[in-house]
Chains A and B, each alone.
Chain A
């Protein structure tokens, strides 16, 4: 059974930093690209970032480019999101999700975790 468990969320002041983690199990982690998707309270879904299975390729939404860094440790079956220079508009529930494709990304989100809440507030 595929399981994705996010952690690391919390309350942080504007300009601060947080590092989110996603622990994966139940599948061959390094065969799959991974995504972060977020959802502001009461709002819709917003794709944030993608990393390839080997970690060699990364992509970011315009809204987080230059501030967020996605990474992964395949030896630990873990995905990360380093978030710097946080803004109030980054307040959201952050989900990690598997890409739908084995080895070759298909760019849809197959399995999702339950999310970790990030609140940016002074």
Chain B
């Protein structure tokens, strides 16, 4: 089945830019979606279809996808952005089509 690889952790100072990567074989040919999960809460969709934002998600959250790497970029990071972030794709050619990355813990220093 398709595998998505994320770094376990990323740290950034407030006001700086955080970049969280999601690696997969030719992931640029797939649509990538990103979720934010704070402790004790359900996940929240923050980016869908590589780079689109749901209503209510700040413009500080953006996404890109090319080649073997998709990236979630959070600009002007705030303390409230500290959370786990998961990438996700749908691999329609697989018997196990729904795939998540292992998650990245974003720490705001």
Measured CB to CB, the residues of A under 8 A from B are 35, 37, 44-48, 50, 59, 61-62, 65, 95, 100, 106-110, 112-115
Contact = CB atoms under 8 A, between A and B. Distances in A.
Contacts of B103: 44-45
Contacts, number: 66
B100 A47 contact: yes
Contacts of B90: 107-108
Given A62-B1, A95-B42, A107-B90, A44 B97 contact: no
B23 to A, nearest CB: 15
Contacts of A100: 45, 48
Interface in B42-60: 42-45, 48-49, 54
14 contacts: A44-B86, A44-B101, A44-B102, A45-B35, A45-B86, A45-B100, A45-B103, A61-B96, A65-B95, A100-B48, A106-B48, A107-B90, A108-B88, A110-B54
Give the bracket for the number of chain B residues in contact with chain A: 20 to 34
